[in-house]
Chain A
Amino acid sequence: MPPIKIRKRTETGGVRSFVIRATAILAALVVTAAFIALLGKNPIDVYASMVTGALGNPHRLRETIIRAVPLVVTSLGIAIAFKMKFWNIGADGQIIMGAFGASYFALNCPNLPQPLLLLVMAAAGMVAGGLWAFIPAFFKARFGTNETLFTLMMNYVAQKWVTYLQYGPWKDPKAIGFPKIPNFVDNAILPKVFGVHIGWIIALILVAVVHVFMKRTKRGYEIAVVGESVDTARYAGMNVRGIILSALFASGALCGLAGMIQASAVSNTLAVDISGGAGYTAIITTWLAQLSAPAIVIVSFLFAVLVQGGSYIQTAFQIPQAAAQILQGMILFFVLGSEFFVNYRVAFGRTVAPSESEVPEEFKVPAAYDEPASPEAVKTTKGGSRG
């Protein structure tokens, strides 16, 4: 048997990685088609009705867009953190806390005029989501804690917190014992434009804003430099800690805003499942979009089509929900698996040319971002002796 050789690539050509990813999606479709055929359905029909189910008429298209909005906004937030190689997987918790912040004002100040109330809710959602991301960022910058675990844990804390509110202090007295938080008043609900809540316009504006922020602003540049090399950032005189903290606040604030939009426009209340898993799905859409804001719109929309089409075929073909989710699972499996082929080259035996040179460890981020001059050091210097 020829030996198998695996080598890291240096040149990851845009075209080639696109081809690899497209092939992965195709493979997922083929495997799932086999599975659908096993269930006794015609895969082509099922796929076709997934598309019509998601885009077939204006109503369905609107539903799909409603699903895409939280994905877009959350992905933008995650992209900011990922650009810095800060693996924020706590978007779900940040969405929940954003929704909580917004709900606080929706429930307690129902008499404010609608524009003012919505603005206050948005601000509260962003602050709450931002703080939820700030906490793990602070611990990472200060003590070098692992942000992946930390942000993940924060998701569960957020969930439990809302559960507590739902069963305790915020329980709707009118729901006759049913544990549910009251619905918002009309003032607290986002208006619609072309039949879809205004969140889609907000999302598109944010895409432009985040794109310009990352490509054209100083802070966007600093985030990119810190993501590449903390040492270099310090050498250039950047305040590494400040950059990490503020970028993570912005990241969480966007996720929090997604939570506000969902609470206000979609559920009209606060609930534990407010995010609908968007916080996790958005990690994947962000990654597939290669952290590019415009690409996030496209990828998120395609994912929304998948989800919406998936729930449509449940009713149309009597396929159990679990089966519909298999396609999503497959796509994720293949696409994430294909990342390996984007970054590595596998050669069999000696007929295939080996790859180009190795690259330095890409995701190497030192544990703690210690600022150089500690306060004690400064003190000693001031009183320092003369040589």
Chain B
Amino acid sequence: MTSSDVIRFDRISKTFGSVAANRAISLAVKAGEIHALLGENGSGKTTLVNMLSGIYSPDSGDIFVYGKREYFHSPRDAIRLGIGMIHQHFKLVAPMTALENIIIGQNGSLFIGKKGVSVKIRELSARFGLEVDPDKRIDDMSIGEKQTVEILKVLYRGARVLILDEPTAVLTPQEIVRLFSILRRMKDEGCTIILITHKLHEVMDVADRITVLRRGEKIGTLEKTETSIGELTDMMVGRAVSLEIERSDVAERKPIFETRGLSVRGRDSLRAISDLSFTLSSGEILGVAGIAGSGQRELCESIMGLLPIEKGEILFRGENLAGRKTAEIIKRGISMGFVPEDRLGMGLVAKMGMVDNLILKDYRFQPGFFIDRSPARARAKKMIEDLEIQTPGINTPVKQLSGGNIQKVLLGRELGSDPEILITAYPVRGLDINSSYTIFNLLNAQKEKGKAVLFIGEDLDVLLELCDRILVLSGGIAKGILDARTATKEELGLMMLGRTEKEASPIAAH
């Protein structure tokens, strides 16, 4: 141990029932560095950092902060030591303003003058380049803004060490750029940062040192300058993996799905989609690009009959589905797997096991009153193998799985039903590289089988590599549909910000 270690984990072990989430992990984080924590889904990253906020306590092993052995019972202990944690799922109080969220939970907060706080917040914002309107309500904020509030909150409480658990999983590319510039500013100010992410290019972008975990064990800590994406992947997975998405061409394509003049109001009854028309063919993957909140969710929900349609038609094989019940739409072979920001919100029952979650959408097609779970049990076992899902058992409540494994269950179910049209939104949010490519391959296989896929994504590189065509949404309006083979990231980016196809095309720019 050197004196520059801010936090040092010493042989930390933690098991949950039969799962060893952390096995004798030793790790030192140096002052003023950005330390990335990498590892496949379920490798124990969240478990390890949660030891610092008292959410979990080690079964064995010690934690040293500035060389002194410390015990963590609650987030307060972390705050006391200047450690701030941004969780995988945010913990803000929605109906309050940013300012109120920042001061709640503070000792004697009742008597703190809001003015003084405002001044301090402004000062912090300026210093670290955080853009927050203190009087805006959390309800009205985008994910990126909420995250900024979280960061500001811990800085306000005097954190010098910041831990971020998959902060970029639900951010738009622009928001990620902004976040990283904040992190660099913090580093320049002498703060120490632990960053968990699955995106390797992000790691190569901001990290100084990188620690890789695999199945609860530490594989190694590397200097960023002395490693490569390839080496990191191999370390994480334990074998060499290829990172190519093969875009195949399906000869026979027929339009089977179409929206005409679709207009939808969102839950806040504001217009979320206006006059949207597009067609989707069998044997193709149609991507949907757009900054967060451009109507993606409403598009999915309206197709599935979860939101009322204000105007327009949704045609599947010539039949208008608008106004039909969700159950009828599922029955026609349209399936949606939407991975929301909180991952569990829609689609899975947290307290039920895999088996009961697998039957969620097709139990009704079984004859009679009773449910036969034996096919689902077999499917669950197969899925655990095919998608390498880590779970103690097929009946373990899914909320006990790691973030990525939860998601594999959701996607596995949607793919398993072999739908005519698969709508998938953010399917690789929070998935590790290996699993992400497994998912991409599965989507491609679906396309090759002649099925249609609507892929709502956020990573532009993936959209360009995977899809055949890309529909760009901006503020609920279609800005155009591009051929993914010829389109560029810049074009997409400009259109996402509201330019039309013409304005964004490189030729028209001159």
Binding site for A on B (CB under 8 A): 16-17, 50, 54-57, 71-74, 260-262, 275-277, 304-313, 320, 322-323, 325-330, 336, 344-352, 356, 359-361, 363-364, 366, 369-371, 399-400
**Complex Cα spacing A306 to B277, Å:** 69
A18-26, A107-115, A159-167, A357-365: which lies at the B interface? A357-365
Tell me if A350 and B73 are in contact (CB < 8 A): yes
A65-73, A232-240, A283-291: which lies at the B interface? A232-240
Tell me if A237 and B327 are in contact (CB < 8 A): yes
Tell me if A372 and B327 are in contact (CB < 8 A): no
Question: Closest CB of chain A to B357's CB: distance in Å?
Answer: 9
**Complex Cα spacing A358 to B361, Å:** 29
Tell me if A237 and B329 are in contact (CB < 8 A): yes
Tell me if B56 and A356 are in contact (CB < 8 A): yes
Partner of B326, one of A11, A228, A234, A385: A234
Binding site secondary structure of chain B: loop
B276, B326, B344, B400: residue with the most chain A Cβ atoms closer than 10 Å: B326
Q: Please list the 6 inter-chain residue pairs (A to B) with the smallest Cβ-Cβ separation, ordered nearest first.
A: A387-B261, A377-B308, A237-B327, A237-B326, A378-B323, A381-B322
Contacts of A372 in B (CB 8 A): 305-308, 326
Tell me if A228 and B350 are in contact (CB < 8 A): yes
**Complex Cα spacing A237 to B356, Å:** 16
Q: Interface size on A (CB < 8 Å)?
A: 42
| 8 Å CB interface, A352-387 against B | 353-354, 356-360, 372-374, 377-378, 380-382, 384-387
Contacts of B327 in A (CB 8 A): 237-239
| 30 A/B residue pairs, CB under 8 Å, sorted by A | A7-B74, A11-B17, A217-B369, A221-B363, A225-B352, A225-B360, A228-B349, A228-B351, A228-B352, A229-B350, A234-B306, A235-B347, A236-B361, A237-B305, A237-B325, A237-B328, A237-B329, A354-B54, A354-B74, A356-B56, A360-B344, A372-B326, A373-B305, A373-B323, A374-B308, A378-B308, A382-B322, A386-B260, A387-B262, A387-B276
Closest residue to B360 on the A side, CB-wise?
A236
**Complex Cα spacing A231 to B323, Å:** 18
A16 is an interface residue with CB less than 8 A from chain B: no
A59 is an interface residue with CB less than 8 A from chain B: no
Tell me if B261 and A386 are in contact (CB < 8 A): yes
Question: Closest CB of chain B to A257's CB: distance in Å?
Answer: 20
Contacts of B57 in A (CB 8 A): 353-354
Contacts of B310 in A (CB 8 A): 377, 380-381
Contacts of B359 in A (CB 8 A): 221
Question: Closest CB of chain A to B273's CB: distance in Å?
Answer: 11
Given A221-B356, A237-B330, A360-B399: 8 more A-B contacts, CB < 8 Å = A217-B370, A229-B349, A231-B345, A232-B347, A350-B71, A354-B55, A354-B57, A384-B311
Partner of B370, one of A7, A216, A232, A384: A216
Closest residue to B324 on the A side, CB-wise?
A373
Q: A238-B327, A372-B326 are in contact. Are A232 and B349 (CB under 8 A)?
A: yes
**Complex Cα spacing A374 to B356, Å:** 30
Question: Closest CB of chain A to B339's CB: distance in Å?
Answer: 12
Question: Closest CB of chain A to B41's CB: distance in Å?
Answer: 17
A192 is an interface residue with CB less than 8 A from chain B: no
Tell me if A377 and B309 are in contact (CB < 8 A): yes
Contacts of B50 in A (CB 8 A): 357
Tell me if B371 and A217 are in contact (CB < 8 A): yes
**Complex Cα spacing A232 to B413, Å:** 14
Tell me if B370 and A347 are in contact (CB < 8 A): no
**Complex Cα spacing A381 to B260, Å:** 11
Question: Closest CB of chain A to B325's CB: distance in Å?
Answer: 7
Contacts of B308 in A (CB 8 A): 372-374, 377-378
Contacts of B16 in A (CB 8 A): 11, 356
**Complex Cα spacing A322 to B71, Å:** 51
